[in-house]
Amino acid sequence: MDYPGNLFVVAAPSGAGKSSLCKALLELDSRLQPSVSHTTRPPRGQEKHGREYFFVSQPEFDAMVEADAFVEWAHVHSNRYGTSKKAIEDRMAMGADVILEIDFQGAIQIKNVFANAVCIFILPPSWEELRSRLERRGEDSADIIDMRMKNAQLEVAQVAKFDFVIINELFDRALFDLKTIVHSQRLKISAQRRARAETFQALNIL
């Protein structure tokens, strides 16, 4: 599928800092819009329905799967998460760039549907720092942190499937890297689209 808007996918093990980086990038880049996912996970802390996530029941999630409403969905840390087609396609059709914060399984599904999607993986500087970020965030129990650390090993093993990798050690440095990737890939994709349109025109296909 090809829309005028671009799709950026940011994945990382839980706690590596993707939400913090995406939030900071969204404040700097007015062409980017976030996508709000659906999840069966209960809200934590100050999370609000429709802001961080659409929090839905298992039957509601099942019904959306049945209705083919998701562009991708996956089981992550014992819950289900999905990006609805509605969350991204209208915006991309209108030329907006959309950024998704999803897990690696979702990123792979997205790449199969949107070949132009730019997939970025965020790594923590070390396992110790990853655990300590999850602990300092203070939103998950010790059991959940253990499960997320265990899953992180499987997630990090998928890094080679991504277009870009950023190590989030110093936050500002990682944000600069993310901003540079988004900016340069946006220019590259626009140039490719222009070149393709010119070729089609020259061949009188359009």
Q: Residues within the annotated binding site for ATP?
A: 12-19
Q: Which of 99, 102, 119, 120 binds ligand LQESDW3C (CB under 6 A)?
A: 102
Tokens of 161: 């499937």
Tokens of 188: 């590259």
- Quote the least distance from Cβ 198 to ligand LQESDW3C, whole Å: 36
Residue 12 or 178: the one with the smaller Cβ distance to ligand ATP is 12
Query: Which range of residues in 58-66, 68-76, 158-166, 184-192 is near ligand LQESDW3C by CB under 6 A?
Result: 68-76
Q: Which of 20, 24, 41, 55 binds ligand LQESDW3C (CB under 6 A)?
A: 41
Q: What angle do CA 7, 9, 10 make, to 5 degrees?
A: 150
Distances (CA, A) of 198 to 1, 18, 92, 133, 143: 19, 37, 22, 49, 56
Residue 83 near ligand LQESDW3C by CB under 6 A: yes
**Location of structure tokens 């659906």:** 38
Distances (CA, A) of 132 to 3, 17, 118, 126, 165: 40, 12, 29, 10, 21
Contact residues for ligand LQESDW3C, defined by CB under 6 A: 14, 37, 41, 72, 74, 76-77, 81-83, 101-103, 105-106
